Amino acid sequence: MISGNALRHQMILPEQQAIFDYWRSKCRGGRIPSRSDIDPTEIALYLPTVSLLDIEGSAEARAFRFRLAGTGLYDVFSREITGTVLTDLPMGSRRAYWDRVLNRVVDRAKPSAGAMRSAISGKTHIAQFWVRLPLSDDGEKVSMILGFDKFVKLSDVASAEAESSKIPA
């Protein structure tokens, strides 16, 4: 059964929670939703940084290829990444991190979410808040991953944290 309440409570941004809630609403009878269950018109607000990743190869040598990458990802990578294999992107020290995250989503057939500082050259002033959600052709085995990313300037994150930590008089 897919619940994910603990994961949802770890998500920092409302946008992460919203895309997760949408995905979870498509989990019928505890089964992983398929690509056809996802209606782009229902998540139109998030499409600029939504991605779909195809899973290629065996468990021992998986590759993740961007079947679709929203236009907002172009701004981050300074190029179109649709059709690109994840390992071909300029991720610096984050390559192994993303390999672990995506393999965990596939192997456990469960969503994952988090936040981190960008390691892309020239973009280290940005925080990346992300969600990776499994999709399945048969409801059980992961055949694709739905991704959502929100990129925020670190200075904006620090300002928001400072504001939320103020105690009202």
Q: What is the pLDDT of residues 133-154, one digit of tens each?
A: 999 999 899 999 999 999 888 7
We report the CATH number of the domain holding residue 55 as 3.30.450.20
CB 55 within 8 A of CB 62: yes
Separation between Cα atoms, residue 117 and residue 123, nearest integer Å: 9
For the chain, state the CA radius of gyration. Answer: 16
pLDDT band, very low/low/confident/very high, at 159 (cuts 50, 70, 90): low
The closest alpha carbon to 70, from 62, 61, 58, 82, belongs to 82
The whole-number pLDDT of residue 75 equals: 83
Burial of 107 (0-12, 13-18, 19+ CB in 10 A): exposed
CB 15 within 8 A of CB 150: yes
Give tens-digit pLDDT for 81-126. 899 998 888 776 678 888 899 999 999 999 999 988 766 666 667 7
Number of helices and strands in the chain (H, E): 5, 5
pTM: 0.86
Q: How many domains does the chain have?
A: 1
Task: Tally the C-alpha atoms within 13 A of residue 42's C-alpha that lie toward its C-beta.
Answer: 12
- The whole domain housing 9 covers 5-165
Separation between Cα atoms, residue 150 and residue 72, nearest integer Å: 9
Residues across the chain: 169
